[in-house]
């Protein structure tokens, strides 16, 4: 097992140094591959050469029995294939035993999104004190630019160009993209930057959004503030950062129909990832059709059965 553990360690180093993956992604790879090592130990598999396609399928089946869904199993298999592909390049393996082994398919869940009225209610907060100004700027920027939680927390003051109405974002795989900032978000950011110094940040603190202690706002704290404002504004939904990202993408696609633009805004490497929002857009269209089209309505405005 020592040789297998060494192979995993070398692969993780490769992901960190060469591919520059984020700590969060590295931790996910480490957990999934550790589970593979435990499986191999239980099966008496001591070397990578002993791991064949039959054993990989057995590993996937074991994950399924443990209650993991198709997407989670696919993530484990992807980590296994990636590691084996790396070991192929290193000369440790002659073939990749994970190739061709598929996870059980599960229905793809559509992402939830707030409608425009719900979004307006959430954003309509009294930003009188500095803390509320910060939170209003966070909410507006989330919705305006469709950022991920880690992307927003990682922003520095210098990443924002309010005159140019853009923000430079470092996303997954350390890839940088420049995306627009809407008018309302720019106004909220200017108001926040006007009081940022009152949070007592050290002169060398570059973070755009600060905690009450003057340090970079942590993801968990930001999530708690979103939950606070959702409850205070009377929203029944659980509001989290990705919900605002989904809402931004959904509303933009409903208005423009430009899938490529939404892909660039969200930073999706594959447009297939963005296409999930076309299903949401179709749901919106179907609701409008059912509510509005004369051949769809069951009753007319007077409550009588509509004629065919």
Catalytic residue status for 228: no
Spatial contact of 117 and 174, defined as CB atoms under 8 Å apart: no
Spatial contact of 11 and 87, defined as CB atoms under 8 Å apart: yes
How far is residue 5's CA from residue 18's CA, in Å, rounded to a whole number?
20
pLDDT in tens, 234-273: 888 888 887 888 888 777 766 665 666 666 666 655 555 5
Spatial contact of 278 and 272, defined as CB atoms under 8 Å apart: no
Choose the catalytic residue: 35, 216, 245, 246: 245
State the architecture of 2-89 in CATH terms: Orthogonal Bundle (1.10)
Catalytic residue status for 302: no
Can you give the pLDDT at residue 272?
Answer: 56
Can you give the pLDDT at residue 159?
Answer: 94
CA of residue 148 relative to chain centroid, distance: 5
Can you give the pLDDT at residue 241?
Answer: 84
Choose the catalytic residue: 242, 287, 293, 305: 242
What is the residue extent of each domain of the chain? Answer: 2-89, 116-267
Catalytic residue status for 279: no
Minimal CA–CA distance to 248: which of 108, 112, 154?
112
Catalytic residue status for 143: no
CA-CA-CA-CA dihedral for 277, 283, 287, 289, to nearest 10: 90
Fold (topology level) of 116-267: hpI Integrase; Chain A (1.10.443)
DSSP secondary structure code for residue 148 in this structure: -
How far is residue 169's CA from residue 184's CA, in Å, rounded to a whole number?
19
pLDDT in tens, 197-245: 999 899 899 999 999 999 999 999 999 998 999 899 988 888 888 788 8
Spatial contact of 233 and 122, defined as CB atoms under 8 Å apart: yes
**Which residues, 6 or more positions from 1, have their beta carbon under 8 angstroms from its beta carbon?**
37, 40, 41, 46
* DSSP H stretches of helix in the chain: 2-17, 23-43, 53-65, 70-89, 116-123, 130-145, 149-153, 183-193, 219-232, 241-256, 259-266, 271-274, 276-292
Spatial contact of 182 and 140, defined as CB atoms under 8 Å apart: yes
**Which residues, 6 or more positions from 107, have their beta carbon under 8 angstroms from its beta carbon?**
none
Using CA atoms, how far residue 196 sits from 98, 103, 244, in Å, is 51, 48, 24
Catalytic residue status for 298: no
Can you give the pLDDT at residue 269?
Answer: 57
Show the low-confidence residues of the chain (pLDDT under 50): 280-286, 288-289, 292-293, 295-297, 299-308
Catalytic residue status for 71: no
Choose the catalytic residue: 133, 134, 148, 251: 148
Choose the catalytic residue: 14, 64, 268, 297: 268
Choose the catalytic residue: 172, 191, 215, 240: 172
Structure token pair of residue 17: 């140094």
Cβ atoms < 10 Å from Cβ of 71: 13
């Amino acid at each position: 097992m020592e040789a297998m553990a060494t192979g995993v360690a070398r692969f993780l180093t490769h992901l960190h140094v060469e591919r520059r993956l984020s700590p969060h992604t590295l931790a996910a790879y480490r957990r999934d591959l550790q589970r593979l090592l435990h499986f191999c130990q239980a099966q008496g598999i001591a070397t990578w050469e002993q791991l064949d396609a039959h054993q990989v399928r057995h590993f996937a089946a074991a994950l399924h029995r443990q209650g993991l869904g198709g997407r989670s199993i696919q993530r484990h298999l992807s980590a296994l294939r990636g590691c084996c592909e790396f070991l192929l390049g290193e000369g440790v393996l002659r073939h990749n035993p994970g190739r061709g082994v598929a996870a059980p398919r599960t229905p793809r869940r559509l992402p939830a999104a707030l409608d425009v009225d719900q979004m307006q209610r959430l954003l309509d907060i009294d930003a009188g004190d500095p803390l509320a100004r910060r939170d209003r700027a966070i909410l507006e920027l989330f919705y305006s630019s469709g950022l991920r939680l880690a992307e927003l927390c990682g922003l520095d003051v210098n990443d924002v160009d309010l005159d140019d109405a853009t923000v430079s974002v470092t996303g997954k795989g350390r890839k940088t993209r420049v995306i627009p900032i809407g008018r309302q978000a720019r106004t909220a950011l200017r108001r926040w930057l006007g009081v940022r110094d009152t949070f007592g940040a050290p002169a060398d603190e570059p973070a755009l959004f600060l905690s009450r202690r003057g340090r970079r706002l942590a993801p968990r704290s930001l999530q708690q503030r979103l939950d606070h404002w959702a409850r205070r504004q009377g929203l029944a939904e659980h509001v989290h950062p990705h919900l605002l990202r989904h809402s931004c993408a959904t509303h933009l696609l409903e208005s423009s129909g430009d899938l490529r633009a939404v892909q660039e805004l969200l930073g999706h490497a594959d447009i297939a990832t963005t296409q999930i929002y076309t299903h949401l857009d179709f749901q919106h269209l179907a609701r409008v059709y059912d509510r509005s089209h004369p051949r769809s309505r069951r009753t007319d405005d007077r409550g009588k059965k509509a004629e065919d």
